Chains A and B, each alone.
Chain A
Amino acid sequence: MDKKKLRNDLLLIVSLLVAAIIALIVILTRKTDKPLVARVYVSDAIVETIDLSDKTERDYTIKGKNGELVIHVHDGKIKVSKSNCPHQDCVNQGEVSDINHPIICAYNEVYIVINGDANYDVEI
């Protein structure tokens, strides 16, 4: 094997790994002090805004493009507990509690994202 090419490979792989790890660390350590809210999108429109600061354990039923799914909220964590999608990727995703970390159900065109910017419950 060409030693020069192998050296280039190594450089490439190492720099890519470093970049990916840094990006991963940045994403995982993003925090916000604001009370969290989860937004549920179906085909691009927000259908539900879920206040995560309220710790009541509760379910939401969402009508997606090709079926229904049930979102379970508890103690500031959100997950899809039931879905009619064939691959169950969204259910397997498990619990999410950090911001910008989406749960995606492509079959139903549903995705759920936690943002940190709903800072009021009601407006007067």
Chain B
Amino acid sequence: MKKIFLPLLFCLTLVSCSSRMVENKDFFYAYDTYVDIKTYQGSAEDIQELRGILETFSKETNNYQTSDINSVSTINGSNSEIPVGDNLYGCLKQADALTQELDTYFSMYIGSLSKIWKETLSTGILPDTTTIDAELTKARNTSLTFDDVNQKVTRTGSGEIDLGAIAKGYALDIAKNHFKNKNISNYIVDAGSSSILLGEKVTDDGLFTIKIKNLSETYIKAKNVCISTSSISEQYKVIDGVRYSHIVSPENGDARPINEAVIVLSEQGALGDALSTSMMMMSTTEVVSIENEFHVKALVIRDRKIEYVNKDIELFH
């Protein structure tokens, strides 16, 4: 009996020791950028599952290419009823609601105008006012009707849907939900530095330290929050001494944001993403009013220094 007992005990100890935690991470290309997921909890399968969901969502929100599933491109090519998946449906609905609420600052229907400005950034040729006006009219005359029962959307009008300013944020919300379902509280999701989802660190205060690129040696600390950054420092072109970027105003069709970069801390990723884009064209007073309306915190950078920072955001150097 003794001869079996000890080796058996030994084997059992080995088995219990093997359920150790490893750093689970994944790094993949989606949403036109690299997405980095890191967590010390859960399993590799949990992360793989999330990656699958996010990659699918990336295909769904793509308005440049069609794929095997119904995506924004599909909707942009039709005015009939299109059935879409859960995530895309949710995102379209939220984008539509924000378009109506934020009116002059955010529109999901200026897809073709955005494409024109993207061309400008590489050719250097400014679009003429007639084109811009036509595009704006098109956008204003476009809308979506939602069939909640069958999860179908119908586009009216010829404006192109562009979820670029909200998709990454929405992806963060998908991730947050996924982690919640898996009981994972420690995580970072980093989508190209512009959309970050933070869980909690396993330290006394659980706070992550975040470095702000546009400023020298400036950091903030946060946890359980979404951080959305809009910035012109990476994508812009100077034409006749003026800096043009990829962020287009739905009000006047122009691509000259007032601010250099905006960082928004919000509970909800999609909201934060949309607001950080919109705030690029807002004055400080407007920013504060939006902050209060939507319960978010913002930091505005202009001319490489802080133009405004919410009083609840503590800065470290």
Contact = CB atoms under 8 A, between A and B. Distances in A.
Interface of A: 35, 50-51, 53-61, 72, 119-124
B196 A122 contact: yes
B32 interface: no
Contacts of A57: 20-21
B146 interface: no
A121 B209 contact: yes
A50 B198 CA distance: 18
Interface in B250-292: 263
Contact of A121 (B21, B22, B23, B208): B208
A122 B211 contact: yes
Interface of B: 20-23, 40-41, 186, 188, 190, 193-194, 196, 198, 201-203, 208-213, 219, 227, 229, 263
> Which among A50, A51, A57, A122 has the highest number of chain B CB atoms within 10 Å?
A122
B21 A120 contact: no
Contacts of B219: 119-120
B145 to A, nearest CB: 37
Contacts of A121: 188, 201, 208-210
A55 B208 CA distance: 13
Specify which of B193, B196, B202, B219 lies most central, judged by the most chain A CB atoms within 10 Å of its CB.
B202
Given A53-B203, A56-B40, A124 B211 contact: yes
A119 B229 CA distance: 20
B209 A119 contact: yes
B201 A54 contact: yes
